[in-house]
Structure 1
Amino acid sequence: MHIATAAASPTDVHYRERLSPSLWVLLSAAVVAPMVALVFVPLDATVALVVGILVAASLMTVLLFASPLVIVSGGELRVGRAHIPVSQLGAPVGLVGAEARSARGPALPRSAWHLLRGGIDPVVRVPVTDPRDPVTEWVFSTRTPDRVVAAIERAQRAAEKTRHD
């Protein structure tokens, strides 16, 4: 789910994305239905079918709604439960392909904060400019790195403008 809007103030939502699981993960969760149903078949076939469907639907719902969000809003970048003011961030960089694989693996610094999701190839790297923060950069998955980068830059400009006013 993507909501990208051109916002006028730093409190408006610039970007929102749910890092939902891939279709393969959801299909794997759906396979739980027949397995659970087999357990309840000795009791009653109808009960087995209903319980299997309910368990699979519940599992897929949890997988979807427990997925982390990437939000740029209110002068803040939120990724999952972590958040940081955009004024403490440097220039964001969106990476895809081999660059993204490197950023998720061998080029991922020990001092970086990261939220990486399997099945989502692109990542965004954002340096942290606060010298007191032990985290040097944020690295996180996103399906649309160009939109995230643009939203962070818009939020940084809006925060800078309100700071000078």
Structure 2
Amino acid sequence: MFSVRTFGETTLILVPEHASQSPKEQTQAEFTEQLWVPWWWWPLGLVASSLVATQFALGISALPAWLPYVILAPVPLWVLWYLSRTTLRVTHHGPEGPALHVGDAHLPTSVIARTAVIPPSAKRAAMGRQLDPAAYVQHRNWVRPMVLVVLNDPEDPTPYWLVSTRRPERLVEAIDSAIRR
């Protein structure tokens, strides 16, 4: 992996370019999307926590008036951040080769048979009566379109993945590009 060259009393250790990079730098993503909650949920969360804090401040006179606000204000911010932590990525170069990453789950593109965009009008059927219980579903209610990723792996009981995305055409294009590599 490393090559060592000696020139007289000088020894050079040649390190390959990718070895000096962190694993995140080695994995180049062709597609990346963070599934954030809508921006208007953040002020609504703060208003809701303020209303609850006001109820505590008025109901419990032994507490300092500011304490419920300080304690409850971070709660909706944490909940909204937690709901927004899902990231979609399609990588071409990584330790396991080209892959689709959805949150903590990853799927090598070698087991993907085909992909399709599920428009918002068909989402209800795809998530309802047509949903296979063995499917992997990463659904975010605030994201309307979805992508269907059909698997071709006889050892995996999961028939397909359903993934919410705001840019379904770009995700399908990135997956198809990774499959061709």
Please, which runs of 5 or more residues in structure 1 have no aligned partner?
1-9, 159-165
1:81 aligned onto 2:99: no
Q: 1:92 corresponds to which residue? A: 115
Once the two structures are superposed, what CA deviation does each residue of 1:30-49 show, in whole Å capped at 9, x if it has no partner?
A: 2112312431352333x24x
Residue 133 (structure 1) shift: 0.6
Larger Rg: 2
Structure with bigger helix share is 1
Question: Residue 118 of structure 1 aligns to a residue in which SS?
Answer: coil
> What is the TM-score normalised by the length of structure 1?
0.76
- Residue of 68, 72, 80 corresponding to 2:86: 68
Q: 2:177 corresponds to which residue? A: 154
1:52 aligned onto 2:75: no
Preserved contact between residue 18 and residue 70 of structure 1 (Cα < 8 Å):
yes
The letter of the residue matching 1:68 is T
| Number of residue pairs the alignment of both structures matches | 146
Residue 145 (structure 1) shift: 0.6
Residue 127 (structure 1) shift: 0.6
Once the two structures are superposed, what CA deviation does each residue of 1:107-144 show, in whole Å capped at 9, x if it has no partner?
A: 21122111111121111000111111100100111111
1:16 aligned onto 2:36: no
- Flag the structure with more relative contact order, 1 or 2, with Cα contacts below 8 A and sequence separation at least 6: 1
The letter of the residue matching 1:11 is T
The letter of the residue matching 1:83 is H
Question: Residue 169 of structure 2 aligns to a residue in which SS?
Answer: helix
CA distance in 2 between counterparts of 1:24 and 1:106 reads 32
Residue 105 (structure 1) shift: 1.6
> What is the TM-score normalised by the length of structure 2?
0.70
Preserved contact between residue 34 and residue 52 of structure 1 (Cα < 8 Å):
no
Preserved contact between residue 101 and residue 121 of structure 1 (Cα < 8 Å):
no
Q: 2:10 corresponds to which residue? A: none
Preserved contact between residue 93 and residue 149 of structure 1 (Cα < 8 Å):
yes
- Residue of 42, 50, 62 corresponding to 1:33: 50
1:126 aligned onto 2:149: yes
Structure with bigger strand share is 2
Preserved contact between residue 112 and residue 149 of structure 2 (Cα < 8 Å):
yes
Preserved contact between residue 124 and residue 140 of structure 1 (Cα < 8 Å):
yes
